[in-house]
Amino acid sequence: MEDVREHFQKKASSFDHLYDEDHPLQRFLRPGLNARREFALEVVREHVSPRVLDVGCGSGRVGEEILAAGASEYVGIDFSEPMLELAGQRLAHFGERARLVQGNFLEQEFDRLFDVVIVLGVFDYTPEPHEFVLRARRACSGSVVATFPRWNWLKGPVRKVRYQVVNDCPIFNYTERELRFLFGAAGFSRCDIVKRGRTGYYVRADV
């Protein structure tokens, strides 16, 4: 995970720019980023004043929408200090409803369970997905919402070169069978898997 940490330490500002909805080109080139955020927000809106944990919260753009949707408490955790600095600036006006934690999700302890645990764009870079899914289950009293990349012969080789060769950052892909095994083994009672576009899976798992 150290290679991933270094990558996002260096790329915080450029990664944040990908989520800039005011930039028409970004909306056109990366519709999946907005789609997965909306997927998560649909689950958040099912609850009244939910407690939400955002794993790999990045610069807080998704967190901003979650808080605006009525979350009573939002906890964002990320291991990148530059990312959390951006998130702190973005979420400051929400006051005590927003809390940011720098650390390793697998090692972090929380004092209460969360209604919704969100893990967007994290499993792309995670060499131990079973541990992440199990830790998410233990932190959750309701639903886990997660996204996973799947192999595509058009974009797959490009992503491999871009991340692993150029940036020395590992990248992973999944199959539906692997996802059902991951969430089943973690003890979820229900797991819905949706294919989105050519390269992604969106997962909603209920405890």
Query: Residue 175 corresponds to which amino acid?
Result: T
Q: What Rg, from alpha-carbon coordinates, does the chain have?
A: 16
d(CA 115, CA 29): 32
> Hey, which of 5-9, 80-84, 143-147, 157-161 has the most confident mean pLDDT?
143-147
Q: In this predicted model, what pLDDT tens digit does every residue of 63-83 receive, in sequence order? A: 999 999 999 999 999 999 999
- Would you say 176 and 194 are in contact if contact means Cβ atoms under 8 Å apart? no
The mean pLDDT value of the chain amounts to: 84
Provide the number of structural domains found in the chain. 1
- Would you say 109 and 39 are in contact if contact means Cβ atoms under 8 Å apart? no
State the pTM of this model.
Answer: 0.82
Return the percentage of the chain with pLDDT > 90, whole number: 66
pLDDT score, position 170: 72
Domain encompassing residue 134: 2-206
pLDDT score, position 4: 45
18: confidence class by pLDDT, cuts 50, 70, 90: low
pLDDT score, position 197: 73
Domain harbouring 77, CATH code = 3.40.50.150
